[in-house]
Structure 1
Amino acid sequence: MPKTFGETVRDIRKNQQLSQRDLAGKVGVSFTYISKIENEKLDFGDYPSEELIRKLANALNTDADQLMILAKKVPDRIKQRVMERPDAFRKIADLDDEKLDQLLDDMGEGG
């Protein structure tokens, strides 16, 4: 099962030997808020904004778009591209995983 947003933040933070207080100081929030993020204890209204997710990514030296997606937010540049080419994204959305993997392989992006 894929890791959640909070689990990912915690794992990256621990790998970088940062405390919750260290990370909180870098992004301008309380360490209790970092704890709530990591333990998935946030109410909907408390969920991090795109700006805070980008600050977290920067502080953790990790991919902001990946954290955004884990937080169930679509990065603005992806939203914009979908709006520019809805025809292409409708077709992509209809592909099953096998065909999508093949498309990524053809693009040189496969895993």
Structure 2
Amino acid sequence: MNAKAESRANTFGDRIRELRKSKGYSLRKLAPLVGVGFSYLSKVENDRLDFDGSPSESLIHRLADVLEADEEELLLLAHHVPATIAKQIFDHPDLFRALARCNERQLRAIENQACGPTE
């Protein structure tokens, strides 16, 4: 993970709160801009959604648009696989099966080779 990503919040809700506050929005102001109630948005920010624990992809898209955020980052934080990544998985299934079998050390080595050292 690079330094920019490390400065970001650990959960989807934390990241949304961070982005919302950086734009100067209250929950009551942001909620109608993305088409939800402020109490629902509060549950999103506090990672307390009742059903599967993550918001819909359409809400994530709207949040990314309004908050001018990286949609792929938000999707991943919410445990959704972005379409661009899903396409790569389906186009290269053997590669992703091999990656799934790697341990943490092996994954870090692959990441460093592909992206450069993270520190």
Give the alignment's TM-score, normalised by structure 2.
0.80
Contact 2:54 2:79 in 1 (8 A): no
**1: CA distance, partners of 2:15 / 2:57:** 16
In structure 2, what is the equivalent of residue 28 of structure 1? 35
Task: Read off the aligned partner of 1:82 and give its amino acid letter.
Answer: I
In structure 2, what is the equivalent of residue 90 of structure 1? 97
**2: CA distance, partners of 1:39 / 1:95:** 33
What runs of 5+ residues in structure 1 fail to find an aligned partner? none
Q: Which whole-Å deviations, capped at 9, do the CAs of 1:55-103 have from their partners, x for residues lacking one?
A: 1112111111111111111112212221111100011122222222222
What runs of 5+ residues in structure 2 fail to find an aligned partner? 1-8
Query: Larger RCO: Structure 1 or Structure 2 (Cα < 8 Å, ≥ 6 residues apart)?
Result: 2
Task: Read off the aligned partner of 2:65 and give its amino acid letter.
Answer: N
Aligned equivalent of 1:4, options 4, 11, 24: 11
Q: Which whole-Å deviations, capped at 9, do the CAs of 1:27-53 have from their partners, x for residues lacking one?
A: 111111111111122111684211110
Task: Read off the aligned partner of 2:23 and give its amino acid letter.
Answer: Q
Q: How many residues align?
A: 110
Give the superposition deviation at 1:6: 1.1
Aligned equivalent of 1:56, options 59, 63, 69: 63
**1: CA distance, partners of 2:90 / 2:69:** 27
In structure 1, what is the equivalent of residue 23 of structure 2? 16
Task: Read off the aligned partner of 2:44 and give its amino acid letter.
Answer: I
**2: CA distance, partners of 1:95 / 1:16:** 40
**1: CA distance, partners of 2:117 / 2:56:** 30
Cα RMSD (Å): 1.9
Task: Read off the aligned partner of 1:41 and give its amino acid letter.
Answer: R
User: Where does structure 1 differ by over 6 angstroms across 4 or more consecutive aligned residues?
Assistant: none
